[in-house]
Amino acid sequence: MAKLFPKKKAWARVREQLLKHSGNNNHPPELAGCDDNWDKNSRWDKTITWAKQHDAYDIIQNMSDDDFYAATPFKTADLVLEDFSGDIGKLLIAINAETTWNKQKRNLIEDLIALLNAEGYIGLAGHGPTYGITTVGSSFIYKVPKTKQGSLKPYRGKTVRIICVGSGRHTDRYYMIGLYKA
Supply the range of the domain harboring residue 102.
76-179
Mark whether 60 and 81 lie in a shared domain: no
Q: Is the dihedral of CA 131, 136, 139, 145 positive or negative?
A: positive
Residue type, 67: D
Mark whether 63 and 150 lie in a shared domain: no
Mark whether 173 and 83 lie in a shared domain: yes
Mark whether 37 and 124 lie in a shared domain: no
Mark whether 21 and 65 lie in a shared domain: yes
Nearest to 40 by CA among 176, 134, 127, 131: 134
Mark whether 95 and 157 lie in a shared domain: yes
Q: CA 154 to CA 46: how far, in whole Å?
A: 31
Q: CA 135 to CA 137: how far, in whole Å?
A: 6
User: Looking at per-residue confidence, does 84 or 29 come out higher?
Assistant: 84
pLDDT above 70 (res 77): no
pLDDT band at 162, cuts 50/70/90?
Answer: very high
